Amino acid sequence: MRQYVGLIHKEDASDYGVSFPDFPGVVTAGASLGEARELAEQALAFHVEGLIYDGEAVPDPTSLKKVLADAAGEELTTIMIPLRTL
């Protein structure tokens, strides 16, 4: 099963946001970390299903190691999100 890196975004008085380096513009948020993770799985699956429907290529997951290296010292909080489609 493919897994994609999700980046957790959290600021004071905000929900937990999740974005995906491999899918710019795909974001979601939840009141708790668990809810954000669940919604991230749904958002990822929905987006990938749309890519497939449109005949577009689904990118291979970027490794966590590469995502962290590309951060150039920026502090990141990450989670791995399984792709439950294809």
Which architecture characterizes domain 3-82 according to CATH? 2-Layer Sandwich (3.30)
Count of CA atoms in the C-beta half-sphere (13 A) of 69: 5
Q: Where are the domains of the chain?
A: 3-82
Q: What is the pTM of this model?
A: 0.89
CA torsion 50-24-9-69 (nearest 10°) is 130
Closest CA to 86 of 62, 59, 68: 59
Quick one: pLDDT at residue 71?
Answer: 83
- Walking along the chain (86 residues) 10 residues at a time, the average pLDDT comes out as 94 93 96 96 96 96 93 86 81
Quick one: pLDDT at residue 85?
Answer: 65
